[in-house]
Amino acid sequence: MRVLMIAIILSCCTVAASFAGNIGYGTIKGIKIGNGNADQVIVYLNDGYTHDDHSCSGAVIIEKSLMSETRFNLLHSYALSAYMANKKARFYSHSNNCNATFIGLQEEYF
């Protein structure tokens, strides 16, 4: 019985971890704010971007309804900073989609 419980817990953790992943790393070619009435920011990465585990095709979404207002403001401010400085940004999603939950401004991937 104990072995079965451990197997179930491990499989649940594996499934949850498989949804998270990188959704893009590179410089930004454009940012669109507001899609219709949606409170979202769409970040478009330049050709040559890498680390796209979820096939986002260089389009990263920052969706306000999925996070606190503070986090939303931080993420889109960081994206704008990376765009203005022409610096590389790394986007990560903790779910199985192209909605960013993390952004790192970094010249090298780590």
Domain, as residue range, for 53: 2-105
Please indicate, yes or no, if residue 11 is contained in any of the structural domains: yes
CA distances from 10 to 17, 91, 94 (A): 11, 27, 18
Q: What pLDDT band is residue 2 in, cutting at 50, 70 and 90?
A: low
Report, as an integer, the average pLDDT of 34-58: 91
- Structural domain total, the chain: 1
Please indicate, yes or no, if residue 110 is contained in any of the structural domains: no
The CATH number linked to 82 is 2.40.50
Instruction: Provide the mean pLDDT of the chain.
Output: 86
The strand pairing partners of 41, in sequence order, are 33, 62
Please indicate, yes or no, if residue 33 is contained in any of the structural domains: yes
Please indicate, yes or no, if residue 57 is contained in any of the structural domains: yes
Residue 12: CB atoms within 10 Å? 10
SS3 label, residue 2: helix
Tracing tokens 């930004």 back to the chain, one arrives at: 28
Tracing tokens 């410089």 back to the chain, one arrives at: 27
Q: What pLDDT band is residue 30 in, cutting at 50, 70 and 90?
A: very high
SS3 label, residue 24: strand
Please indicate, yes or no, if residue 23 is contained in any of the structural domains: yes
| pLDDT for position 14 | 43
pLDDT at residue 17 is higher than 60: no
